Chains A and B, each alone.
Chain A
Amino acid sequence: MLITEHELLKDEIREWCVRYGADRGALLPILQEVQHKYGHISEFAMQQIADALEIHPVEVDGVVSFYQFLHTRTHGRFVIRLCRTVSCDMAGKDRVARQLENELGISFGATTPDGRFTLEWASCLGLCDQGPALLVNETVYREVTPEKVHEIVSACRRSLSAHAPEFSQEAAS
């Protein structure tokens, strides 16, 4: 990674510290910003954040590893989270899961080699009356059937080609 990208990230962290305050209470919002922008929270980012908030890097690691939506490793452009809790389970999440794996060619917990999709389980998404439910990044899909899985994945692919510049996987790694 280029030095300039490190500098950029440092500047951004400085800005976020201004916005959220440079104390421990700002940790989660700042991590969420980094996660949102870069798709993961790199080792470098964690150390910079720790420095800015005057805590220890391992404490940042402890927090990042605690929350399901924060990651230290690169995640796909689209993170697909399928609810596996009981209502969605009863509504047929297993078949949706299998179809997702088939469409993407990866199993749960993995990211496609092109870095576009990550497939994950989620605990209850609060859409239990309309299961099976899944989230693609922040967008909700309800009453998903194996048939619909293909549409969802295709829509993601289409939106990628519509929006040029490709998301930089290397950023902040």
Chain B
Amino acid sequence: MSVSIRTPLTFRDVPPGVGLEAALALKRPAVIATLRAADLRGRGGAGFPTATKWNLAAAAQSKTKYVVCNADEGEPGTFKDRVILNHFPDLVLDGMLIGGYAIGARKGLIYLRGEYTYLRAPLEGILARRRQERRLGRAILGKKGFDFDIEIRMGAGAYVCGEETALIESLEGQRGEPRNRPPFPVDTGFQDQPTIVNNVETLAWVACIFAKGADWFRALGTAKSRGLKIFSVTGDCERPGIYEYPMGLTVGELMQRVGGEGAKAVQIGGAAGRCVPAALFDRTIAFEDIPTGGSIIVFGPQRDMLQVAKNFMEFFVEESCGQCTPCRAGTRKLLGGLELLENGRCSIEYLSELCRLGESISLASKCGLGQSSPKAFLSIIRHFRDELLGRPAPATS
């Protein structure tokens, strides 16, 4: 499968199994302590400290617990999880095993998005191979009492199922509608049991941390965003593809490396992220500044930002689960506003009201999808206002 991997990847240097063996040599609390020392934060977008999540699940009292690998990668502009699952699947599986060991789970589930059905057969093959190698199944690597197996479950085309509680609903055979939180999956997750849900990349980094040491990881990145990150770069740049950099790099630096110097804006974090104009390219990509799950979309000078905003909004109108009012009905209204702008028929008063509506959608929606849905809209309106207002009526074709 042709992919443009543009930088050396740490994952290539870490042979499968090394991290797993190192972790299994530790006592369970020490596993979580190592993660805490590395200060790994989730790579799925939200950046929740992985050690904290695992610790909560480990502390939850229950015989049955689950580890879920979130391979529903649906954020526009991201494909790093696909590349990782394709090239480094063993690291991800090692990460799941380490998670299972740390929290006391015996079962792992990979929720693979329906669009990646072609990855299923190879992954099943790897699972079969690992069962033979005793890297899956009973008494893993000869460690008595540590049994763990992994099952692959397929998604069926719903972006919102990447949200961890929607993912769990989907696993349970429901519509992929996010749950009320609290309680969180770490105490009431899959089948009401404590469950950790982690991103593919997060799990791969877990394996690397145990292979290379917490200090190695901790030394990279910024104080609040440690370690390395995989970026999926697309759009108007010379070298789209996969990049690995420490967290904390500026947008401008990244643009130089991908050949996107002339860009007028970059969308960081996919549709759920925000649009950063060239004037702000000195900002850093890190949880404390501009967070991202890895999606970087470059917009060249010729791009019509209105079309960009519209494309994102159409995405949310389509992909909202439709459960709660602000997101279901609100995204539709924001899209309507963009259509008015497109026709040059939006008053500034109405636009301001839509911006306030956007804030309310962010505040009042039930899940991360609705909460982030107006971000692209709001940032594009803020930074590219001139470009949007008072357009001539489009020529009718």
Residue numbers of A with Cβ under 8 A of B are 23-29, 31-32, 53, 62-63, 66-70, 84-87, 89-90, 122-131, 135, 138-140, 142
B residues within 8 A CB of A138? Answer: 117-118
B315 in complex: contacting residue of A67, A85, A139, A140, CB < 8 Å: A85
In the assembled complex, how far is the CB of residue A117 from the closest CB belonging to chain B, in whole angstroms? 18
Q: Is B334 an interface residue (CB 8 A)?
A: no
Q: In the complex, which residue of chain A has the Cβ closest to the Cβ of B309?
A: A86
**Complex Cα spacing A126 to B270, Å:** 12
Q: Is B319 an interface residue (CB 8 A)?
A: yes
Q: Are B156 and A31 in contact (CB under 8 A)?
A: yes
Q: Are B74 and A123 in contact (CB under 8 A)?
A: yes
Q: Are B77 and A128 in contact (CB under 8 A)?
A: yes
Residue numbers of B with Cβ under 8 A of A are 2-4, 73-79, 81-82, 113-118, 153-159, 170-176, 191, 232-236, 240-242, 267, 271, 297, 299, 303, 307-308, 311-312, 314-315, 318-319, 321
A residues within 8 A CB of B233? Answer: 129
Q: Are A129 and B4 in contact (CB under 8 A)?
A: yes
**Complex Cα spacing A24 to B315, Å:** 29
B residues within 8 A CB of A122? Answer: 115, 157
In the assembled complex, how far is the CB of residue B341 from the closest CB belonging to chain A, in whole angstroms? 17
In the assembled complex, how far is the CB of residue A109 from the closest CB belonging to chain B, in whole angstroms? 13
CB-CB under 8 A for A70 and B156, given A24-B172, A85-B315: yes
Q: Are A86 and B311 in contact (CB under 8 A)?
A: yes
A residues within 8 A CB of B318? Answer: 123
Q: Are B3 and A124 in contact (CB under 8 A)?
A: no
Q: In the complex, which residue of chain A has the Cβ closest to the Cβ of B4?
A: A129
CB-CB under 8 A for A28 and B235, given A66-B158, A126-B115: no
**Complex Cα spacing A165 to B44, Å:** 44
**6 closest Cβ pairs, A-B complex:** A68-B157, A27-B173, A67-B156, A69-B157, A24-B173, A129-B240
Q: Are A62 and B79 in contact (CB under 8 A)?
A: no
**Complex Cα spacing A86 to B272, Å:** 12
B residues within 8 A CB of A129? Answer: 3-4, 79, 232-234, 240-242
In the assembled complex, how far is the CB of residue B86 from the closest CB belonging to chain A, in whole angstroms? 11
In the assembled complex, how far is the CB of residue B110 from the closest CB belonging to chain A, in whole angstroms? 13
Q: Are A130 and B76 in contact (CB under 8 A)?
A: no
A residues within 8 A CB of B77? Answer: 85-87, 124, 128
CB-CB under 8 A for A131 and B234, given A25-B171, A124-B75: yes
B residues within 8 A CB of A25? Answer: 171-173, 191
**Complex Cα spacing A125 to B299, Å:** 20
**Complex Cα spacing A23 to B157, Å:** 22
Extra contacts, 9 of them, besides A63-B174, A86-B311 (Cβ < 8 A), are A28-B173, A31-B156, A32-B156, A63-B173, A67-B158, A123-B74, A126-B73, A126-B78, A126-B79
Q: In the complex, which residue of chain B has the Cβ closest to the Cβ of A35?
A: B156
A28 in complex: contacting residue of B76, B153, B299, CB < 8 Å: B153
A126 in complex: contacting residue of B2, B82, B174, B314, CB < 8 Å: B82
CB-CB under 8 A for A128 and B157, given A86-B312, A87-B235, A90-B235: no
14 contacts between A and B (CB under 8 A): A25-B173, A26-B173, A27-B173, A66-B176, A67-B155, A70-B157, A86-B76, A87-B76, A89-B307, A124-B76, A124-B77, A126-B73, A127-B82, A129-B234
Q: Are B312 and A128 in contact (CB under 8 A)?
A: no
B76 in complex: contacting residue of A53, A63, A123, CB < 8 Å: A123
Q: Are A140 and B118 in contact (CB under 8 A)?
A: yes
Q: In the complex, which residue of chain B has the Cβ closest to the Cβ of A64?
A: B156
A residues within 8 A CB of B3? Answer: 129
Q: Are B308 and A86 in contact (CB under 8 A)?
A: yes
B residues within 8 A CB of A127? Answer: 79, 82
**Complex Cα spacing A128 to B82, Å:** 11
Q: Are B113 and A126 in contact (CB under 8 A)?
A: yes
**Complex Cα spacing A68 to B191, Å:** 24
**Complex Cα spacing A70 to B174, Å:** 13
From A62, A66, A69, residue with most partner B Cβ within 10 Å: A66
**Complex Cα spacing A130 to B5, Å:** 12
